Amino acid sequence: MLQNAPIQDNFQEEEINIYDYIHVLLKRRYVVVTFFIITFSVILIATLAQTPSYRASTQLLIEKNSPVNLTTQYGYTHDPFFLNTQFELIKSKNVVYRVVSNLQLDTRYRSSYLAPEGFSLLSTVKSWVITSIRFFIPKNKSEDDNQLMDDTEPLTDADIIAGMIASELQVKPVRETNVINISYSHKSPSIARLVVNAIAKSYMDELLEIKMQNSSYSVKWMTAKAEEEDKKLRDAEAAMQKYTRENDLITVENKLTIIPQQLNTYSNQLSQARAKRKEIEDVYLQVEGLGDKYNTIENLPFLSNNKDLQQIREKIFNTEQNINELSKQFGAKHPSMVKAREEITLLKNEKKTIINRFMESIKSEYELAKHNETNLEQLLDESKIQLMDMNEKLVQHNMLKREVDSNRVLYDALLTQIKETSATEQTQKVNVFIMEKAATPANPASPRKMRNIMLALVLGVFGGCGLAFLVEYLDNTISSIKDLEERFQLPVLGVVQYYNDSEIPLVEIINQKPKHTIAENYRMIRSALMLSSPDKPPKTLLITSGLPSEGKSSTCINLAKTISLEGKSVLIIDCDLRRPSLHKHLRLKNKTGLSFYLAGMKQPDLVQNLNDSKVSVITAGPIPPNPSELLSSKRMAGLLTALSGKFDCILLDSPPILSVTDAHVLGTIVDGTVLVAYAGKTTYDGLTATLKKMEQVRMHLTGTILNAKNFKKESGGIPYSYYSNYYSHYYSEGYHQDSSNYTES
């Protein structure tokens, strides 16, 4: 069963220290050095090949001139985009073309910008690249677009030079001021000075021309607009005059003042007439209802104050008193009595006459009040109709008047603006002052050789270090014991140092150089194997790897020789029945071997002994058609059981686990499995897949061996880690080896 299975998902990376950083840099020193050399060389060559460029600068003070408006009287207003607008204007094509024209750069100084006509390798390569790109780009434009492109005129020398000037022109503000710096670079210091001074002058000329064009256009437009508005004003005045004349609105204001007063008067009079008519009507109806009841009529309140009636009443009263006195003296037929009664009769008749006359006057007054009320109502209605008619006419009149007034206001405003524009036509909106003219630069502005060299040094060093750490981060191969122990939580038996010696094969290193570092590596692995089990060391071990060419065969041979040095008998069985190699390393015959035995064939020399060694070998024999079936047979298990009593240790060299299933079969019949990982070659994914396969078939993992660990290469020749330090000092002989390549024997 696989012990200490990898828990890669729960792996937490420890904090790296300064020695780990140094180790990474030493390990990837060739990456750092290569990147440094390339970077430094490229920057140095580019710096030395660059043509010196001289930069001339001038300073301008730019202020916004906001003259007081003649009509509004308003002055300066803040414009946050003012300076940015001026920057773009300075770098505009019009200004640059002025410079080219004024200085005759396309004729007089053409050679300073454009190379003389002839063969140019750079131009030829550039033209070829552009043509090739256009050839591969699909053409999606219409025929009209193609025709338009064909008709486009080629760029002139002035266009090319203007573009070159614009690309080298820089405009920068001086912080918290209205001062700007204009600078220009060129290979000739004199031309740099001429161009930058010409830029300032051309900018000022462009401002003046923009102002003149704007003013001229504004005056022209406003004059045409004023003529149009003048015609509209005359037409509106004529229409209003005609309407006023046709509707008799000459005294419209007086009429509008009188008619409301008349309405008010008529309304008041009508109210009074109605009240009076109501009062008289009440009296009339009351008198009319009494008929001939003069005594009742006489006692009505409105007749109590009648003087004529009061006088008749007094006379009647006096006459009645006189009759009473005469009746005391005379009889009824006395002439005085008769006369007195006749007199009172006459007085009563007169009273009736006064009452009748009053009733007639009441009736006449009532009729008159009704008539007066009717007349006032008619007058009021006529006044209302007249006022409504007048209002309708006045509304139309006001509409015409408003049109006249609006046209007059617009016309007057245009006239005022024309006069104001004409008066301020020569006034600049932007004030420009040249604070400092450009002088001829004495020293080139670029290239800055010392700065570029320092930049190349810094970029080369830090870029190389960064690239080294990136390569280290992207490297997913097993490179140290730490990867096996901490990342995969595997027991590590030991490390075999990188070996490359063409004189002595790796499998002979134990016999020929017993004090070599690699020999000590295998002795430490042997010790770890002896201590790997608490009861007794494993007797049958399977030596395998995840993929081919990871050093399992050489490890198996050297480990067997190392164990035999303790006086133990060791047997090596080549179980790689597909690509056997053990007999080649040990220079043994392979006519018969394990495949013959497993196939049931008898052979007298199954076990072969090595010269002067306690190591015995069973070769693979001829390659069979069914290796997995043979290895999983009972004969294989029986062979191991039989040989276990004859040998102290049996090592099985098997095919890689991920390639075929042979190792899976063998892993179930041995005491333990030793997994060989090749430093710098075995990947995390490959080792993870190998461990999963072993866990699936319940193979017992005794430990792992990190093979071909190149301490010298990773540490840059400086001893690094316990192993390198120990071996480099204690086993000094044999350590001086060529570390260029490693080839498994």
Q: Looking at residue 733, what is its pLDDT?
A: 39
Q: Looking at residue 682, what is its pLDDT?
A: 93
Q: Are residues 459 and 386 in the same domain?
A: no
Q: Are residues 528 and 599 in the same domain?
A: yes
Q: What is d(CA 26, CA 424) in angstroms, rounded to the nearest whole number?
A: 77
Q: Looking at residue 217, what is its pLDDT?
A: 66
Q: Is residue 32 part of a domain?
A: yes
Q: What backbone torsions phi and psi does residue 193 show, to the nearest 5 degrees?
A: -65, -45
Q: Is residue 603 part of a domain?
A: yes
List of E strands, 466-531: 492-497
Q: Looking at residue 534, what is its pLDDT?
A: 78
Question: For 551, left (φ over 0), alpha (ψ -120 to 50), or beta?
Answer: left
Q: How many Cβ atoms sit within 10 Å of the Cβ of residue 122?
A: 8
- pLDDT averages per 10-residue partition of the chain, 745 residues: 46 63 85 93 88 89 67 55 85 90 88 67 61 61 50 79 89 88 90 90 85 69 77 80 70 62 78 79 69 64 65 75 78 77 78 73 79 81 76 74 80 75 60 86 85 92 93 88 90 91 85 90 93 86 94 94 93 94 90 90 83 88 92 93 93 93 93 94 93 93 91 56 42 36 32
Q: Looking at residue 691, what is its pLDDT?
A: 94
Q: Are residues 533 and 647 in the same domain?
A: yes
| Total of domains in the chain | 3
Q: Are residues 453 and 541 in the same domain?
A: no
Q: Looking at residue 727, what is its pLDDT?
A: 41
Q: What is d(CA 456, CA 464) in angstroms, rounded to the nearest whole number?
A: 11
Domain hosting 680: range is 492-730
Q: Looking at residue 666, what is its pLDDT?
A: 94
Q: Are residues 525 and 552 in the same domain?
A: yes
Q: Are residues 665 and 524 in the same domain?
A: yes
Claim: this prediction has a pTM higher than 0.75: no
Q: What is d(CA 702, CA 490) in angstroms, rounded to the nearest whole number?
A: 9
Q: Are residues 585 and 707 in the same domain?
A: yes
H-helix or E-strand containing 58?
strand 54-64
**SS3 for 708?**
strand
Q: Looking at residue 289, what is its pLDDT?
A: 64
Q: What is d(CA 725, CA 732) in angstroms, rounded to the nearest whole number?
A: 11
Q: Are residues 417 and 535 in the same domain?
A: no
Q: Are residues 512 and 406 in the same domain?
A: no
Q: Are residues 308 and 393 in the same domain?
A: yes
Q: What is d(CA 590, CA 572) in angstroms, rounded to the nearest whole number?
A: 14
Q: Is residue 114 part of a domain?
A: no
- Residue 139 gets which letter from DSSP? -
Q: Are residues 269 and 416 in the same domain?
A: yes
Q: Are residues 456 and 580 in the same domain?
A: no
Q: Is residue 346 part of a domain?
A: yes
